[in-house]
Amino acid sequence: MPPASPPGGAAQAGRARRPWWRSPVPAAAILAAAVVVVGGGGYLLLGRGGGAGGGGAANAIAATGNTVGCSTSTPRLAARTGIASQNVKLGGTPFAVQESRDGKYTFVTVSNGIAVLSNTPGGLAPTLLRIIHITGADKGLFVTHDGRYLLAAVGQGAVVIDVAEAEQGGPSPVRGSLVSPALNARGNGAVGVRTTSDDAYAFVTLQNTNKMAVFSLGRALSQGFSKSDFQGFVPLNEQPVGINASPDGQWLYVTSFQRQATPGPSEGTLSVVSVQQAETHPAKSVVSTVNAGCSPARVVTSSDGTTVWVTARDSNAVLAFSAAMLHSSPAHALIAHVRVGAGPIGLTLAVGGKRLIVADSNQASRTGADGDLAVIDTSAALAGKSSLLGFAPAPGEPRQVTLAAHGSTLLVTNQVTGQLQAVKVADLP
């Protein structure tokens, strides 16, 4: 079998069943620069527009190693007020949030369940309809590309839910479970979940291990759920959590909290996985692995596939990697580094990729202080300029973020308040 092509290369051979989109084309020159805003402490609530433009100097990133250490430093920038925001009380500890493919519903994992909410056309916050009880469902979610199924990370794999049944309140929305062999006495600790672009396979990161599980979702749905659905493990580093895919569906980007098991926060990694190889030879599917700051948590890719953004939770930073260089020169792949608030976890691109919105959980402090939403100008970050535009309030501990209502609304889960926060994107810095 021929190896999969890197970003900018040819599509995989023999995969006509999968829609391949435009492959990313790397820029002729890539600026290796960091945007670091120095300072400690919190921020003040000032008037609208206060603190816009960020601040701080652009510093060069080391040419080798991609090393970004742990940090307690956070920027001193004002938080914008006057932002339209509404909260929906869900209870439990909301973790992941996903909008249905048709934009009519929203799903949120809570403690041992999935909240189903109805989106209101022209409204800001969705309305809670019901909570489906599913033991252990309190981590990642993913709606299949065809919109028919919702996968919720649970224990040693994922639960597969019929979206239509869940939306309409059907009596049996759960279709079955994908289960990997036990690797940890405490359970494998499934966190992130995603499917291939044709929904034939599913991938689940297992935080209590150093593996990602691969399942044949197509087989499970067509022949019935069984042990045969499990295809194998992808070898990663310690505590794999975040997972996302390139726009063309050929590559997975997976974060691991630690390169090696050590007490306390330490340097983690970002791994590039060939989807084609993961489907057939999971153990040989990792293409490259690079350092990705301290406790890298979540990952997103630009719409053209050229840039991979990662939150480094215990570096209080967001990192940008060149997708092309993750293949050709991994040691030089880190191209930007932006200081944000304390404990960044969730992130999403907005405004056509011009903005990156980051959920600063403030998790590490555990002082009871609220987290916030940091807003980054992506073009400025990649050009080595000051790029942190400011903060928006996010009471409690914001965890995951996603765009809804065709990009006009940001949905934020909050694990402390038990709420889902809806924010008007146009009001953000």
Q: What is the pLDDT along the chain (429 residues), one digit of tens a residue?
A: 333 444 433 333 333 333 322 233 333 333 233 333 322 222 222 222 223 333 332 223 333 356 788 888 888 777 888 999 999 999 999 999 999 999 999 999 999 999 999 998 888 999 999 999 999 999 999 999 999 999 999 999 999 999 999 999 999 999 999 999 999 999 999 999 999 999 999 999 999 999 999 999 999 999 999 999 999 999 999 999 999 999 999 999 999 999 999 998 999 999 999 999 999 999 999 999 999 999 999 999 999 999 999 999 999 999 999 999 999 999 999 999 999 999 999 999 999 999 999 999 986 555 667 899 999 999 999 999 999 999 999 989 999 999 999 999 999 999 999 999 999 999 999
Tokens, residue 373: 């939403």
Domain annotation covers residue 6: no
CA atoms within 13 A on the CB side of 349: 18
Within-domain flag for 9 = no
Distance between CA atoms of 245 and 254, rounded to whole angstroms? 9
CB atoms within 10 A of CB 239: 21
User: Does residue 181 contact residue 201 with C-beta atoms inside 8 Å?
Assistant: no
Q: SS3 string of the chain?
A: CCCCCCCCCCCCCCCCCCCCCCCCCCCCCCCCEEEECCCCCCCCECCCCCCCCCCCEEEECCCCCCCCCCCCCCCCCCECCCCCEEEEECCCCCCCEEECCCCCEEEEEECCEEEEEECCCCCCCCEEEEEEECCCCCCCEEECCCCCEEEEEECCEEEEEEHHHHHHCCCCCEEEEEECCCCCCCCCCEEEEEECCCCCEEEEEECCCCEEEEEEHHHHHHHCCCHHHEEEEEECCEEEEEEEECCCCCEEEEEEEECCCCCCCCEEEEEEEEHHHHHHCHHHCEEEEEEEEECEEEEEECCCCCEEEEEEHHHCEEEEEEHHHHHHCHHHCEEEEEECCCCEEEEEEEHHHCEEEEEECCCCCCCCCCEEEEEEEHHHHHCCCCCEEEEEEECCCEEEEEEEHHHCEEEEEECCCCEEEEEEHHHCC
**Per-residue pLDDT at 51:** 31
160 within a domain of the structure (yes/no):
yes
Can you read off the two tokens belonging to residue 19?
A: 């829609």
> Would 5 be classed as within a structural domain?
no
The range of the structural domain enclosing residue 342 comes to 33-427
Beta partners for 114? 109, 132
Q: CA separation (Å) from 36 to 341, 350, 406? A: 12, 22, 32
**Residue 258: predicted pLDDT:** 96
Residue 291 belongs to domain with CATH number? 2.130.10.10
Q: Which residues contact 271 (CB under 8 A, 6 or more apart)?
A: 236, 237, 240, 253, 254, 255, 256, 286, 288, 289
- Cβ-proximal residues to 133 (8 Å cutoff; 6+ apart), any chain: 112, 113
Q: What is the pLDDT, as a whole number, of residue 28?
A: 31
Domain total for the chain? 1
Structure tokens that stand for 125 in this block: 């916050």
With respect to residue 17, please indicate whether it lies within any of the assigned structural domains: no
Asked whether the beta carbons of 377 and 359 are under 8 A apart, the reply is no
Indicate the residue type of 75.
P
In contact, 317 and 72? CB cutoff 8 Å: no
* Dihedral class, residue 343 (left if φ above 0, else alpha if ψ from -120 to 50, else beta): left
The reply to whether 24 falls in a domain is no
In a domain, 10, yes or no: no
Nearest to 215 by CA among 205, 174, 32, 120: 205
Distance CA(96)–CA(140), nearest Å, equals: 5
Tell the burial category of 217 from Cβ atoms under 10 Å away from its Cβ (0-12, 13-18, 19+). buried
Burial annotation 181-199 (CB, 10 A radius, 16+ → b, else e): eebeeebbbbbbbbbbbbb
Q: How far apart are CA 360 and CA 357, in angstroms?
A: 10
Q: Which of 211, 173, 176, 175 is nearest to 191 (CA)?
A: 211
Report the C-alpha gap between 166 and 143 in whole angstroms.
Answer: 12
Establish if 26 belongs to a structural domain.
no
